Amino acid sequence: MGNAIEVDAVSKKFRLSNDRTNSLKERAIRIGRRSPRTDFWALRDIAFDVPQGSTIGLLGHNGSGKSTLLKLIGGILRPTSGEIRRTGRLASLLELGAGFHPDLTGRENIYLNASILGLSKRDVDLRFDDIVAFAELEKFIDQQVKHYSSGMYVRLGFSVATNVDPEILLIDEVLAVGDENFQRKCLDRIKQFQRSGVTIAFVTHSPDLVRQICDMAVVLDEGRQVIHTEPKLAVRAFREHLLERAGLIADQADPDRPHGEVVRITGVTIEYPEAGRPYVRNGEPVTIRVAYDAKERVEDAVLAFALHANDGHVVFGQNSWGLGKRLVLDGSGEVAFKMEAVRLLEGTYPLTINVHPRLGGEMWDSREQEEHLDVLNEEGNFAWGVADVPVTLVSDAAREAHEVDRR
């Protein structure tokens, strides 16, 4: 099987300027003067291939160039040097419903949008009912789109984009929008595409999603390709990169943080079991150290921490009062929460720390999701989800699987 996408030494330079010279007058004034623009390399020497039928994740934090790369693959931007070769009909979910005209009806917009995506009228005729049914808009299809709710708009956009029988599908964090139900529907649709051999490239900053649906991943940082490898290793590289970066940023404390007049949280450190290894494996111990500074003596402070899942839900929370302790804080000091065993599966768990009086009424200080607890699965742990529950299988039908086959 050939490659659906070949990215060959691609670089992209943007020209940044403080204020844009979009009028001739300004241009005329600036003639002969040095241009105030500065060059900014959004991408440098990116190179990787995506075989037909595989799914590649472009992983990176904001500003790493991953969306620019997706736009280059989609042909929306042209590279400054290098080239991209792409084989197969393309559909992109860069923005759902881009190109809908508010004054046209849903029906008219389906035909228009599909032809922008390269479909002929006959193609659309065949798929029309499917598109409408998937979007659940049967009753509204002959109404002007401007009367649609934003949810209806997104549903129709997704439905058109995914019903064009793409051979290559580009997805730009669209899975982050919409309600949970719709997200699940999108994810189902993507898995369907994978099964039917569609090549998918998608951009995300969620390592979990990469692990869930990718065959390969590219990690980008400041426009450079950090690594191009299998999802697990890519996620690890991404984490380690992110942590290095977080170490640099942590020094610049946020001056706008609220509260802190009575008791302030001055620092949070996560103590992983091994020095120089910034993650914990399932079942290993971790200590969360919270440094505080009490401006006045308080007799019954409560210090709480919570670990969140990616969607913000609390996976686990505990506080000093729940642990049977009353905290008497005066001046600066430290509280350590020692978790004997982290019974969580692989993932990044944002950490929230709060300090407040036992009887409530006010929040002295809160540090929301500034730190992350990173968990990596033990070799050979193939469980999924959040909680790590040891399971054994007992059956006469069971035979030992070979390690090699399981991979």
Partner 1 sequence: MTAMGDGEMAGRYCSSVVTAAAAPTNVIAPRRSVYRHMVELWSYRELLGNLIRKELKVKYKKSSLGFLWSLLNPAMYIVVFTIVFQVVLKANVPYFPIFLLSGLLAWTLFATSLGGATGSITGNHTLVNKVYFPREILPLAAVGANCVHFVLQGIVLIGAIALSPVDFDLRWLWLVIPTMLVLLIFASALAIFLSAVNVYARDTQHILELALLAWQWLTPMIYAWRLPADKLKEHGITTSLLLLNPMVTIVVTMQRALYGQHLQDGKQMLPTGGQWWYLRNLGITGAGAVILFILAMRLFSRLEGNFAEEL
Under the rule (CB under 8 A), what is the footprint of partner 1?
A: 14, 22-25, 27, 71-90, 92, 94-95, 98-99, 101, 103-104, 108, 111-112, 115-118, 120-121, 165, 167, 188, 191-192, 195-197
201 CB burial (10 A radius; 0-12, 13-18, 19+): buried
Residue 243: CA atoms inside 13 Å, Cβ hemisphere, count? 19
Round the CA-based radius of gyration of the chain to a whole number and report it.
Answer: 26
The position carrying tokens 């659940």 is: 136
Q: How far is the CB of 52 from partner 1 (least distance, A)?
A: 8
Residue closer to partner 1, measured from CB, 191 or 326: 191
Residue closer to partner 1, measured from CB, 163 or 354: 163
User: Both tokens of residue 366?
Assistant: 């809160």
Cβ pair 293, 259 in contact under 8 A? no
Per-residue CA distances from 278 to 86, 95, 243, 274, 372 (Å): 38, 36, 8, 8, 10
Residue closer to partner 1, measured from CB, 159 or 348: 159
Residue closer to partner 1, measured from CB, 14 or 321: 14
Residue closer to partner 1, measured from CB, 126 or 314: 126
3-state secondary structure 239-286: HHHHHHHHHHHCCCCCCCCCCCCCEEEEEEEEECCCCCCCCEECCCCE
Q: How far is the CB of 68 from partner 1 (least distance, A)?
A: 9
Q: How far is the CB of 70 from partner 1 (least distance, A)?
A: 11
Residue closer to partner 1, measured from CB, 108 or 370: 108
Among 152, 154, 156, 89, smallest CA distance to 118 is for: 89
50 strand-pairing partners? 5
Q: How far is the CB of 294 from partner 1 (least distance, A)?
A: 51
Residue closer to partner 1, measured from CB, 98 or 249: 98
263 strand-pairing partners? 294
Among 243, 319, 245, smallest CA distance to 288 is for: 319
Q: How far is the CB of 163 from partner 1 (least distance, A)?
A: 10
The position carrying tokens 């150290």 is: 289
Q: How far is the CB of 89 from partner 1 (least distance, A)?
A: 6
Q: How far is the CB of 21 from partner 1 (least distance, A)?
A: 8
Cβ pair 148, 140 in contact under 8 A? yes
Among 87, 121, 96, 94, smallest CA distance to 107 is for: 121
Residue closer to partner 1, measured from CB, 94 or 234: 94
d(CA 288, CA 73): 43
Q: How far is the CB of 59 from partner 1 (least distance, A)?
A: 22
